[in-house]
Structure 1
Amino acid sequence: MNRTNRHASSLLKVQLLREGIVESTHEVHAVACDARGRVLASAGDPELGTFIRSSLKPFQAMSVTGTGTLDHFNLTDRDLAIICSSHHGSIEQTRQAFNILWRCDVDPAALQCPVPPGKTTPLAHNCSGKHAGMLAVCKQKGWSLDGYMQRSHPVQKLVASRIAELLGMPADEFICAHDSCGVPTYLMQLSQMATLFAKLTSGKSLEMERIVRAMTHHPEMISGPEGFDTLLMQLTEGELVSKAGAEGVQCIGRVREGMGIAVKSVDGSKRAKYATAVYLLKQFGWITPDVSETLSDKFMMPGRYTRIEVVGEMSMI
């Protein structure tokens, strides 16, 4: 998955400048695809393989939207948003994750995600919404709540099959590993990640449209105040869907356009992926000048004496 290919081009360089002098440099791969999986533009290697991490959550949530679980338990779009989230563990977000379990009559003790440092409950973990959603599916389907994180569990097989269907590949071809919360994540090419977000925002699937609506109508659930995903979706008012992943992964889809972007900073840097995302959104014209200014001030001006600069461009295919 890391082989050289005809789309490979120069990587983007993200530089931290202190009073105009380069202090640190990060390298970033990025790719834009349409809903058919065609590479539209790239920087670096669009076939680079890396774990999608939490950028997978909107697609893991398809196990909830595609099984009737939402309607069966009278779950709301706010519940669906927290299922898609990497939340900050605020009281509001923690209560929303608990609401899912309460409506499904599942004891919070069934959650197998870790208890974050300084907290007393796994409900405060940033993946608790995802885990609560999987438990809701298990409850609705009559599947065992035990071992729901294991690859062999029916809920994980369901998740894998839905994602494989979107990518047009057999589920058993996925290279799988456990994410930090214990649930499986998948090794994917960047172009596959961008394609998933293009499909998510294409408007051709009612269940994915509901996920998009939940995320864009309740962006405060997705990360938190001042978080990149939350702020971007608030500012663009339903035009973009954004979901971060750990270790420098960032994915964005343009609603109703069926186009997706995937970014990976080589060293896993958050500041590099966020700065690159802002830079590319400006380059593609996906954000207005006012939104661009707000995001640049937040994510490209980290300090009084420092600024972040992205060098290079996406090569159009």
Structure 2
Amino acid sequence: MSQSTTLPPHRTAGAPPAVREPAHVPVADVMRAGIVEGVHHGSVVVLAADGSVAFQAGDIEAAFYPRSALKPVQAVGLLRAGLPPLDDPSLALVAASHSGEEQHLATARGILAAGDLTEDELRNVPDLPYDPAVRDEWIRRGLGPTRLAQNCSGKHAAMLLTCRTRGWDLDSYLDPGHPLQRELAAAVEDLTGQGIARVTVDGCGAPLFSVSLHGLTRAAARLATAAPGTKEGRVAHAMRTHPEMVSGSRRDVARLVRAVPGLLAKDGFEGVQIAALPDGRAVGVKIADGGDRARMPVTAAVLARCGVDPDVLAPFATTPVIGGGTPVGALRATKTLAP
């Protein structure tokens, strides 16, 4: 697979976003004893229920890589491409960056078994479980990296099952020219409403499609507002009802979904987060330096702009700054993001 390629735009999609250096702005301050010790830059967008941009900061139209925040859109694409019916926990895992807990591994095995497939047919990179506690226990047991433990194995298992169902080649399912990947690219362009600017390789080895933060957030809103019987609605329902399958039992995204009724949320590496409410209000966050610590405080700040109760968001709004083993400050969103 080439490192960077382009695709012709899907016939229903708009123009691809511009490939340029994003004009990010300060979005989070690291405060230690009342002094700004560090600043995280990034971009954010808030969509109103009618789809219009209610607030933006930074560069929401530049091409960027959504990383795993794009998985819910790809899950819809898999259903459109012929993924057989799955129960809700399994469909949630298809959209997941899971923690490698036993519930995740067992569910991924079940997806493979539905197509008489095995872990050996997965083409994602082997890795240790993502959750630190699970990873430590894994190592204590003398276990090494596996494809099943890698956090994208649910998506890859579903890709293989779809290929088995459609009679497509299994060995080349990660090639951007494979029929499966062309179907997924079409779903990305349809749901984001824009062409794909670049195609490269994600950390797991799968094709990674570049869109804009605005386009990604628009896609999240489309899933969140979809009717229950639609493919978009099925993915949204599975993610809302099984947030522990989308991430993990100890992950902040799962806690946020449990705290905010009806919320659809997905994180991605390099500081990406989307979250959308059932009425279409939605937020997209990209932290420029890729650091994870600013992702959730910034997300909480812009969710407050959507009308989410600040008291509900309070546990997510700051990250402690530690000195001598005790909190001496906090990382929080800049005042410019406050409602």
> Please, what TM-score do these two structures have when normalized by structure 1?
0.88
> Which amino acid is the alignment partner of residue 210 of structure 1?
R
User: Please, which of 86, 95, 108 is the counterpart of residue 97 of structure 2?
Assistant: 86
> Which amino acid is the alignment partner of residue 134 of structure 1?
M
Quickly say closer, same or farther: Cα 1:153–1:67, change in 2 above 3 A.
closer
Contact 2:271 / 2:287 at 8 angstroms: preserved in 1?
Answer: yes
Contact 2:20 / 2:63 at 8 angstroms: preserved in 1?
Answer: no
User: Please, which of 232, 242, 245 is the counterpart of residue 218 of structure 1?
Assistant: 242
> Which amino acid is the alignment partner of residue 70 of structure 1?
P
Query: More displaced, 245-254 or 32-41?
Result: 32-41
What is the CA distance between 1:34 and its match in structure 2?
5.2
Q: Which residue of 2 aligns with 1:291?
A: 312
* Cα separation, 1, equivalents of 2:44 and 2:246: 22
Q: Which residue of 1 aligns with 2:220?
A: 197
Quickly say closer, same or farther: Cα 1:247–1:195, change in 2 above 3 A.
same
User: Please, which of 255, 268, 287 is the counterpart of residue 231 of structure 1?
Assistant: 255
Report runs of 4+ in structure 1 exceeding 4 Å deviation. 2-5, 34-37
Matched, 1:306 2:320: no
* Cα separation, 2, equivalents of 1:264 and 1:120: 29
Query: More displaced, 200-209 or 32-41?
Result: 32-41
> Which amino acid is the alignment partner of residue 43 of structure 1?
A
Matched, 1:115 2:126: yes
What is the CA distance between 1:225 and its match in structure 2?
2.6
Q: Which residue of 2 aligns with 1:249?
A: 272
* Cα separation, 2, equivalents of 1:130 and 1:249: 18
* Cα separation, 2, equivalents of 1:202 and 1:270: 28
**Which digits, 9 at most, give the CA deviation of each residue in 1:20-53, with x for residues without a partner?**
2222111121012358753221011221321011
SS state at 1:57 partner: helix
* Cα separation, 2, equivalents of 1:282 and 1:36: 18
Q: Which residue of 2 aligns with 1:100?
A: 111
Query: More displaced, 56-65 or 209-218?
Result: 56-65
What is the CA distance between 1:169 and its match in structure 2?
4.3
Contact 1:251 / 1:260 at 8 angstroms: preserved in 2?
Answer: yes
| Between structures 1 and 2, the one with greater helix share | 1
> Which amino acid is the alignment partner of residue 227 of structure 1?
R
Tell me how large the CA RMSD over aligned residues is. Answer: 2.4
> Which amino acid is the alignment partner of residue 103 of structure 2?
E
> Which amino acid is the alignment partner of residue 231 of structure 2?
E
What is the CA distance between 1:200 and its match in structure 2?
1.1
Report 1:168-207 matches (<5 A). Answer: 168-169=193-194, 173-204=196-227, 206-207=230-231
Query: More displaced, 277-286 or 263-272?
Result: 277-286
Matched, 1:267 2:305: no
* Cα separation, 2, equivalents of 1:169 and 1:265: 22
- In the comparison of the two structures, how many residue pairs are matched? 303
Quickly say closer, same or farther: Cα 1:217–1:302, change in 2 above 3 A.
farther
> Please, what TM-score do these two structures have when normalized by structure 2?
0.82
| Identity over aligned pairs, percent | 32
Quickly say closer, same or farther: Cα 1:140–1:250, change in 2 above 3 A.
same
> Which amino acid is the alignment partner of residue 183 of structure 2?
L
